[in-house]
């Protein structure tokens, strides 16, 4: 019976015209099985300007999403509808568990940041004393402040209190209807922002999403060129930064440099000499070959089981090494 069970298909979320994958296991399968690397564009809330080390989600090209759907290896999910259905399907207990987890994560982050700040201050004082620049300041009148141990105890008490409230009866409804809570310390009425129930649920928490009727529809010539090169084992990535449509790698981009700058053309499409020379010079300048590819004329009615054949032509500048 286990052998007859259908293999799980990759879930591709359709969000505002983009095709996104959130599951790490699906991303690993795309890379190892389908030679699809995609483009990571997720960043950290604390470092929104950095663009070197990006994370989930992974964006796929239209051609990649279409090929996976044609091969029945993936399904397209309307992200907005699936997100709404997932929220409606959550029980009050689920909401309370999600919010309690978010609160605990927030408290741990606040404690870690405070401890790191204290360590930096202590290190700065020690360095100043060692260099002789430390000057003793006159003692000030005691203020109503909390020590490090008291602050940690305060956060732990707040976390335990909120967790108990969330796991109890009616806690989920209370947390879902309000966006903030105060600490139990009467002398320090600090407010801690708590995510709302709707924002605590991400695309990765969807449950049994329904397949969308939407199917990616890239230009046919471009899709056939991509499909042809991908079937030969090439890893394809977007070629916008090189002024082409695709960049073709002979293997995993982590191990190989790309070989071709690919541009798809119609069989009878006119190509100016300036574009021909410019493409050849561009490819040579970045140590690649400029490839023109398209469907052979008359192959739309061909009886070949593999479908229409693709012809490729490469342009290399003189002295290309």
Active site residues: 249, 257, 288
Distance between CA atoms of residues 34 and 70, nearest Å: 13
Q: Is residue 43 within 8 Å of 54, Cβ to Cβ?
A: yes
Which residue carries 């080390």 as its tokens?
53
| Strand pairing class (289-295; 260-264) | parallel
What contacts 162, CB < 8 A, 6 or more positions away? 100, 103, 181, 194
Which residues face 260 on adjacent strands?
Answer: 248, 289
β-partners of residue 40 are: 58
Residue 114 neighbours by CB under 8 Å, 6+ apart = 148, 151
Q: Report the DSSP pairing between strands 246-249 and 191-193.
A: unpaired
Are the C-beta atoms of residues 196 and 175 closer than 8 Å to each other? no
> What SS3 class is residue 295?
strand
Q: Distance between CA 247 and CA 255 in Å, rounded?
A: 15
What region does 6 belong to: left with phi over 0, alpha with psi -120 to 50, or beta?
beta
The tokens for 26 are: 């699906």
Contact 195, 178 (CB under 8 A): no
| Nearest alpha-carbon partner for 239 in 264, 270, 261, 272 | 261
How many CB atoms are located within 10 Å of the residue 68 CB?
23
């Amino acid at each position: 019976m286990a052998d007859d069970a259908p293999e799980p298909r990759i879930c591709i979320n359709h969000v505002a015209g983009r095709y996104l994958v959130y599951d790490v296991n699906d991303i690993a399968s795309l890379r190892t099985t389908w030679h699809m690397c995609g483009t990571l564009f997720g960043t950290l809330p604390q470092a929104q300007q950095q663009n070197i080390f990006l994370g989930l989600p992974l964006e796929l090209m239209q051609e990649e999403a279409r090929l996976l759907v044609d091969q029945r290896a993936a399904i397209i999910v309307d992200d907005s509808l699936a997100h709404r259905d997932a929220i409606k399907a959550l029980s009050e207990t689920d909401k309370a568990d999600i919010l309690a987890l978010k609160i605990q994560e927030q408290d741990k982050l606040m404690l870690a940041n405070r401890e790191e700040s204290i360590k930096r201050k202590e290190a700065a004082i020690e360095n100043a004393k060692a260099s002789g620049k430390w000057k003793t300041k006159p003692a000030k009148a005691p203020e109503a402040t909390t020590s490090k141990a008291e602050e940690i105890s305060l956060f732990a008490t707040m976390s335990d209190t909120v967790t108990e409230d969330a796991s109890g009866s009616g806690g989920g409804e209370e947390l879902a209807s309000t966006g903030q809570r105060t600490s139990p310390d009467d002398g320090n009425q600090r407010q801690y922002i708590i995510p709302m129930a709707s924002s605590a649920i991400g695309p990765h928490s969807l449950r049994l999403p329904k397949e969308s009727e939407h199917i990616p529809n890239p230009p046919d010539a471009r899709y056939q060129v991509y499909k042809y090169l991908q079937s030969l084992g090439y890893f394809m990535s977007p070629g916008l930064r090189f002024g082409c449509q695709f960049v073709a790698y002979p293997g995993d981009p982590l191990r190989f440099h790309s070989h071709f700058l690919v541009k798809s053309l119609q069989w009878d499409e006119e190509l100016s000499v300036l574009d021909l020379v410019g493409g050849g010079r561009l490819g040579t300048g970045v140590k690649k070959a400029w490839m023109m590819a398209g469907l052979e004329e008359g192959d739309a009615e061909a009886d070949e089981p593999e479908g229409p054949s693709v012809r490729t032509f490469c342009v290399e500048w003189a002295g290309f090494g």
